[in-house]
Amino acid sequence: MGASLDLQESIAAFFGLSCEEILARGREILSSQTKPARRDEKPVPFQDKLDMVGHNNKLAARLIADEAARAVGFPNFMTAIIDSVGIYPPGWQEYLAGELSAYDFWEETQQYVLDQVGKLRK
């Protein structure tokens, strides 16, 4: 059941906000919620961290990319290329769109890191 306008105003006043500010924050939360991992999806080794940041959002994609680089022995590689050059690993957009699982994105990014490091060593 919805709260009356008086109750809404009282709650907003308690927090020092307007009703519209509270509603805007609620809309922001609802629009940023991500869908949970599919039941059939293989979990990543850092699943607890991923669950904390959500799924299929930029923070989650960044976490997966960083963990993939760490898993293959280059913990700062993805951070460096994303922050300095703005290059994201293949599968980034597909993961954000929910078309690629976290596990598959993690595995693909590990291979991407190894391929890129190999090119740099040549």
Judge if 3 and 56 occupy the same domain: no
Kindly indicate the confidence band of residue 40, based on its pLDDT and cuts at 50, 70 and 90. low
Domain that includes residue 21, residue range: 1-33
Nearest by Cα to 61 from 28, 99, 27: 99
What is the rounded CA–CA span in Å between residue 15 and residue 21?
A: 10
39 located within any domain: no
Residue 4 within any structural domain of the chain: yes
- Separation between Cα atoms, residue 43 and residue 106, nearest integer Å: 10
In a domain, 57, yes or no: yes
* Percent of the chain with pLDDT strictly greater than 90: 50
> What's the rounded Cα separation, in Å, for the pair 60 and 122?
32
Q: Is the pTM of this model over 0.75?
A: no
Residue 32 vs residue 18, higher pLDDT: 18
